[in-house]
């Protein structure tokens, strides 16, 4: 029996990597996965799903008013579809989550959704709310807060590491930084005003180190 799955986590837990690996596994067995990604996510290119480790695949870019059930049904007229995979599923509308349940219930095709549970204010995204309510199976993907505890929430911070408490729920490609934190750390940062110590990516650290002439003397 087909099921609707919701795989959720904070950021940097490898959701997109797992989605792309799942798509690869289907293709490797001669089966056809159908991939969806929100059109508003244009960080790389509209209609492309790309993970932080470099894996990528083409996908159908959907908008808020698109009918995903009809889209899958039309694709079925051209070729068999064995699985539907949805990236950034928090951006689904309530109606689209319902349409995905129809893909499962009426077309008997499994649907695997991957996304965030809550936004930078600790509130549920619309898509996540209804996926949590209507999915057959919920799976939490684990990642770690800088404190060493399990990260379950996300904060948006400024250049000094202080939480931004206002703003649009969706900030694709913005300059704000998103940090995955534990619930305890979220409360201290978002409500308590505590700054987070920002950790630069390894690549940036190496570039800065290479620019420092003192390093040449030490090598």
Q: Catalytic positions, please?
A: 88
Classify each residue of 17-52 as buried b or exposed e, where b means 16 or more C-beta atoms within 10 Å of its C-beta: bbbbebbeebeeeeeebbbbbbeebeeeeebbbbbe
Q: What is the DSSP string of 148-164?
A: SSBP-EEEEE-TTSPBP
CB atoms within 10 A of CB 97: 26
Asked if 4 and 139 count as a contact pair (C-beta separation under 8 A), the reply is no
Nearest to 126 by CA among 136, 116, 139, 135: 116
Asked if 15 and 51 count as a contact pair (C-beta separation under 8 A), the reply is no
The Cβ-side half-sphere exposure at 208, using a 13 Å CA radius, reads: 6
């Amino acid at each position: 029996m087909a099921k609707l799955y919701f795989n959720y986590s904070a950021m940097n837990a490898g959701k997109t990597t797992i989605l792309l690996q799942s798509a690869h596994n289907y293709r490797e067995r001669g089966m056809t996965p159908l991939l969806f990604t929100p059109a508003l996510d244009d960080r790389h290119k509209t209609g492309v799903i790309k993970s932080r480790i470099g894996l990528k695949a083409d996908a159908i870019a959907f908008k808020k008013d698109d009918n995903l059930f009809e889209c899958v049904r039309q694709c079925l007229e051209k070729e068999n579809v064995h699985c539907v995979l949805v990236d950034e599923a928090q951006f689904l509308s309530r109606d689209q989550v319902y349409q995905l349940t129809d893909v499962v219930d009426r077309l008997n095709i499994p649907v695997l959704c991957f996304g965030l549970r809550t936004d930078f204010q600790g509130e549920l995204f619309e898509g996540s709310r209804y996926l949590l309510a209507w999915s057959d199976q919920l799976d939490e993907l684990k990642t770690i807060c800088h404190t060493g505890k399990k990260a379950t929430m996300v904060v948006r911070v400024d250049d000094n590491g202080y939480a931004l408490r206002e703003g649009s729920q969706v900030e694709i490609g913005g300059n704000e930084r998103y940090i995955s934190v534990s619930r305890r750390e979220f409360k201290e940062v978002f409500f308590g005003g505590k700054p987070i110590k920002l950790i630069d990516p390894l690549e940036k650290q190496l570039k800065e180190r290479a620019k420092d002439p003192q390093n040449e003397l030490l090598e």
